[in-house]
Structure 1
Amino acid sequence: MDDRELADHLEQFGLSEKVVDTYLTLLELGEAKASQIADAAGVSKRYVYSVSKELEERGFVEVNDHVVPTTIRPRPPAEVIESLSENVASMRPALEARYTATARDEERFEVIKSRVTVIKRIAELVGRAESEITLSLPYDVIDEVEDELRAARERGVLISLVISGVEPHDELSLDGLASLVRVWHEPMPTMLTVDSRIGLVAPGEMVARSNTDSQAIVFAQPHLGPVIVGSFFGNYWPMAAEAYISEPDPLPTTYYNFRHAVLQAALCAREDLDLEVTAHGRMVHTDGPTELHGRIVDIRQGLLEPANNSFPVENTLVIETDDGTYSIGGLGAFVEDFEAEYVELKRVS
């Protein structure tokens, strides 16, 4: 590396060209008086004193002002590099925080024109899921995201999957692929939501074929995610046929995704298992307790057949407590008595 390249690198740490030239001169001189440095660098003695304080604060030099005349000594390069590295490392949390915020803004709306990129985005988003995935995908594409789906399922993510282009009697290997799988022989749009906050929508032909002018949209908007979830469960889920249902989870278990809790309660109800629930949250319409505990006496849902909810995204647990009967919904509940942030299900002893 020549002097110019070295100077360019040093300037990246906020040093001006003149300061860098003075510092490089000091490196060649070793410990020196301000007058010697001034003569060699072609600057004033006063300037050297000013620069030396800046360089000392940044960890490049040591100023010995306990002697007369004052001398300035460059610190060993290894110490300088270590100091610079610590400074850079200390910036990392702030930089990452700002980068994450910027990345979210950029992801709020992305247009995709390539089938390959659509599949790649689906795999990436599924890999980021923490609590819930809703997905519709043609059967021929399932194997391209199968590993990500199975990994998400192993993480405990609730996965509701519609596979299009499949007849109900077709034999499929679905165990471990999702929590619930439905199949539909008709083509349908590819729709993905991850944790109800980020997702993707693409015309069916764009995923099925590579030679199409169609475009897909990736979104990351907290208000749009629930709309897509509602469309998924309201328009397409009821049209598809039940093809796979996972086994109930071992209980007791705490659920932060309320739809997941309702599914587990419905699965247990199919096996005539009585459950009790402890819900933490708030009353919706009145002041009251922040915790409810009771036995489940009714479940309103559309995840399993037969559906008995009155609108597509209604998922409700009705419980009997010592103080009466209450209906419990998830975050954003508005028709139920209680909005649950999280619930614990366990078998009635």
Structure 2
Amino acid sequence: MDRAELTETLEDAGLSPYQADAYVTVLELGAAPVTRVADVSGVPDPRIYDVLRDLESAGYIETYEQESLYARANDLDEITDDLESRAKRLTAATEEIERRWNEPSVERSTVSIVTRFETVIKNADEFIREAETQVNLSLGVDHFERLRPALRAATDRGVRVNLSIHTPDGDGEVLPDAEDLAGICSEARHRRVPSPFVVIVDRTKTCFAPHAGSTNEYGVLVDDRTHTYVFYWYFLTTQWDAWKSIYTTRDDEPPIDYIDIRYCVRDVAPLLRDGATVRLRIEGTDTESGDDRVVEGVLSDVVVAGDDDAVDADTVASYGGRVGLVVETDGGPVEVGGWGAMVEAVEAHRITLVSVA
């Protein structure tokens, strides 16, 4: 850094042009008469005494009498500490400005629009690391690699992770294989067309960004059950249900876990119709009190609103109306509903098919 840059930087740190010039001169001369400082610096003679007095008050220099008035630089510790403190505050301010520009706080509103995809994927990583029961994702291979550590941590915690991976033009060669997916997700499916980036966590949080070919770059961050429910149905019907599974940890023999009640109803309705005894365990929320509740017993009925044929449908989209289970417990029958249940006694978060006899 040359002299001009140094004086300019000191001005940015709060010194006046004359003060910066005089201080640099004192640094260069060491101890020197004030008249010498005035000659070497660009400070006019009538101003030099006032300028040095201000520098002395600020702790930059000290003056003393020796035949005439002399000036010398003070110990540097105080000065460098002050400049470093200013630099840290400027760095912190820069980071905060960037954060506020990139990341409107999700807490301030249920839905936030952001301008950069980096903001979307950073929030997705955070949401996944906080997940308790379920994560549903639609993403490309590169984004899968970016979120892999967070997905592994969620899977290790027992979170159900449904992963829909899309590849450009249906190219399947770049897909991760079963070894890559093991320990990362509960099930993975391959969507053979480009798709938006979607992450849905615990029925409450959503991160969305349009696919790379979209005209505009933006993202949506959601912290709300109602809005997230819309994204969840979009995920089920377009990113998940119609596509082939390429990896799963699910066993066809009990116990079998379900996160969505519709998949459970689809599987158990034929069993019940054939006279089987189906035992279920439901972990969820009491719809009246809001408290956690566990229900365990034998399935006695399924509730499916709509056409009579809906109960035999293969696609979950056919179960778009009310869907429920009636479980006989020691305390009597309990009606269990799915996401957003209101008329049922329990909203199910996880259903376990314990046994079939």
Match of 1:219 in 2: 219
Instruction: Determine helix, strand or coil for the equivalent of 1:155.
Output: helix
Distance 1:339 1:183, change over 3 A: same
Is contact 1:126-1:152 (8 Å) kept?
Answer: no
**Partners of 1:92 and 1:337 in 2: CA distance:** 54
Deviation at 1:316, TM superposition (A): 8.5
Distance 1:345 1:182, change over 3 A: closer
Question: Is 1:262 the counterpart of 2:271 in the alignment?
Answer: no
Match of 2:187 in 1: 180
Is contact 2:125-2:150 (8 Å) kept?
Answer: yes
Match of 2:152 in 1: 154
Match of 2:53 in 1: 49
Counterpart selection for 2:237 from 219, 234, 237: 234
**Partners of 1:264 and 1:155 in 2: CA distance:** 25
Is contact 2:338-2:349 (8 Å) kept?
Answer: no
Is contact 1:150-1:178 (8 Å) kept?
Answer: no
Distance 1:62 1:201, change over 3 A: same
**Partners of 1:246 and 1:48 in 2: CA distance:** 77
**Partners of 2:346 and 2:94 in 1: CA distance:** 37
Match of 1:277 in 2: 283
Amino acid at match of 1:134: L
Structure 1 residues 104-143: aligned runs within 5 Å: 104=103, 108-109=114-115, 130=128, 131=131, 132-135=135-138, 142=141
Distance 1:80 1:236, change over 3 A: same
Deviates most, 14-23 or 191-200: 191-200
**Partners of 1:163 and 1:328 in 2: CA distance:** 32
**Partners of 1:18 and 1:172 in 2: CA distance:** 68
**Partners of 2:260 and 2:28 in 1: CA distance:** 74
Amino acid at match of 1:9: T
Deviation at 1:100, TM superposition (A): 1.2
**Partners of 2:63 and 2:332 in 1: CA distance:** 76
Question: Is 1:100 the counterpart of 2:95 in the alignment?
Answer: no
Question: What's the RMSD between the two structures over aligned residues?
Answer: 5.6
**Partners of 1:181 and 1:22 in 2: CA distance:** 69
Question: Is 1:244 the counterpart of 2:243 in the alignment?
Answer: no
Is contact 1:166-1:183 (8 Å) kept?
Answer: no
Distance 1:82 1:109, change over 3 A: closer
Is contact 1:136-1:192 (8 Å) kept?
Answer: yes
Deviation at 1:194, TM superposition (A): 3.0
Answer with 1 or 2: which has the greater Rg.
Answer: 2
Amino acid at match of 1:277: E
**Partners of 1:334 and 1:77 in 2: CA distance:** 68
Match of 2:272 in 1: none
Indicate the percent of aligned positions where both proteins have the same amino acid: 15
Distance 1:311 1:93, change over 3 A: farther
Match of 2:199 in 1: 194
Q: Deviations over 1:154-190 (max 9, x none)?
A: 12163431557499xxx96374253322346xx5441
Deviation at 1:46, TM superposition (A): 3.5
**Partners of 2:330 and 2:88 in 1: CA distance:** 54
Instruction: Determine helix, strand or coil for the equivalent of 1:14.
Output: coil
**Partners of 1:125 and 1:194 in 2: CA distance:** 10
Distance 1:216 1:125, change over 3 A: farther
Amino acid at match of 1:234: T
Deviation at 1:219, TM superposition (A): 1.2
Distance 1:230 1:155, change over 3 A: same
Deviation at 1:231, TM superposition (A): 1.8
Q: Deviations over 1:111-139 (max 9, x none)?
A: 9xxxxxxxx999888766624352155xx
Counterpart selection for 1:311 from 313, 320, 338: 320
**Partners of 1:300 and 1:121 in 2: CA distance:** 42
Instruction: Determine helix, strand or coil for the equivalent of 1:194.
Output: strand
Q: Deviations over 1:257-286 (max 9, x none)?
A: xxx98269989x99x78546365xx96xxx
Deviation at 1:17, TM superposition (A): 1.7
So what's the TM-score if we normalise by structure 2?
0.55
Distance 1:121 1:277, change over 3 A: closer
Is contact 1:182-1:244 (8 Å) kept?
Answer: yes
So what's the TM-score if we normalise by structure 1?
0.56
Amino acid at match of 2:189: R
Amino acid at match of 2:9: H
Q: Deviations over 1:39-86 (max 9, x none)?
A: 864215334434443x33xxx44689xxxx998753334553343223
| Unaligned 5+ runs, structure 2 | 105-111, 156-160, 252-256, 269-277, 305-313
Is contact 1:180-1:244 (8 Å) kept?
Answer: yes
